[in-house]
Amino acid sequence: MSVSKHYLNKEKTKFDWRVVVYIPTGEYDRFGKPKKKHQHVGYFSTKSEGEVAERKFWNDFEAGTLELNKDATLEDVTIYYLDFAKNEGKYAKGTICNYEGYLNNHFQMLKYVPVKNLTPALIQKWRRELFKKGASDHIFNGCIKFAKAAFNYAIELKQVSTNPFKDVKSVTIPPKLRNRFSMEELKKVINTCEQQFPEYYCLFILATLTGARLGEYSALRPCNIRNVLKKIFIDKQITRGEEKNRTKEDASTRTIDISPKVLEIIQWHIERYNIADDDLMFRADKGGQMYAKWIERKFAKLLKACGYDEKFCRVHDLRGQYVDILHLCGVPTSYISRQVGHSNTHVTERTYTQILKELSDEAGELVDNKIFGDDEDEEK
């Protein structure tokens, strides 16, 4: 229905009439059905006024005199973008949930404002009100990222002509210092994991010594392991319980170099748990995929077994541990950046460390020596 009630309060005692129409795009989906996009016409005091506006809209549309961005509101632009994000399959469930949360919880002041009225002064006022209500810097940055992306998408499709959030700067948030294990501590944690949590051992090694993200090693299959080349091919991820045939970013689709010892542990895991070539490397008790909560709970138990508080560090922080190890081994940021799947070295430097050293030709063997104590000098 194009004309519907739009309630103005939670009690649903006050409302106006909202007119939304769906216009053809001239494109078709894979089933041959014509694609349509929604266009907000406006709000009206009575239903009859809304119906008149709807008829006028279609008359103008058929005559080719309609300005599609004339009365568009921030809500129209963002909802249209969310529809794209949900149906194109390029966004993780978590990202979409975050975007919906920003729109529903943090954009009330601007939600129904026409794009033409979104002035820098109004956006600045919205920002002040947002922080007054206790929103964090992360929330504000998320809102700005969402708004910029939505308006850029609308501009690309010629729905609007300007991005009112273009010059709004995100808040600079200093990186948090995360706990790291020393090399001696890490050796002890690895030994404890091998002895007390064998079902978690390979997973923990991948998390610590490959730089793969949790969602990436959760989606690994034996067919992704290149034994001869000592590489892991990353092209999928599991996020919020759903396997995606893509990675977080384009740069995240990559091959990861692994050391001989890491390859040995992977092969041991495959043989011990009888994993077929196309099966997931890590599976739940009933044969389903491994969930992030299980991985995090098992890591918390490992920390406690080693005498650490279960909040000493997160599973995700093991990526930073890996970066530290490679730097300790003399590996430069350019190589590390490719290993962990960052789009550029600046991300690696900003996120993990500022120490830069020269690349060693024996990086894999050096990691083994540092972690597993194979160094000939140490044996002497």
Cβ pair 98, 106 in contact under 8 A: no
Give the model's pLDDT for residue 142: 95
Mean pLDDT of 345-365: 57
What's the pLDDT tens digit per position in 208-217?
A: 999 899 999 9
What's the pLDDT tens digit per position in 151-169?
A: 998 888 777 888 999 999 9
Model pTM? 0.62
pLDDT of 55 above 90: no
Q: Which two tokens stand for residue 59?
A: 């008359």
The residue with greater pLDDT, 118 or 345, is: 118
pLDDT of 223 above 90: yes
Sign of CA dihedral 116, 118, 120, 121: positive
Beta strands in the chain (DSSP E): 3-7, 15-28, 34-44, 225-226, 231-234, 237-239, 242-244, 254-257
What's the pLDDT tens digit per position in 102-139?
A: 999 999 999 989 888 899 999 999 999 999 999 999 99
Across 45-49, 240-244, 266-270, the highest mean pLDDT is recorded for: 266-270
Q: Which two tokens stand for residue 371?
A: 């972690």
Domains in the chain, CATH or no CATH each: 3-156 (1.10.150.130), 183-379 (1.10.443.10)
**Mean pLDDT of the chain, nearest integer:** 83
Mean pLDDT of 185-205: 95
Rounded percentage of the chain residues whose pLDDT exceeds 90: 39
pLDDT of 310 above 70: yes
pLDDT of 337 above 60: yes
Q: How many whole angstroms separate alpha carbon 211 and alpha carbon 316?
A: 9
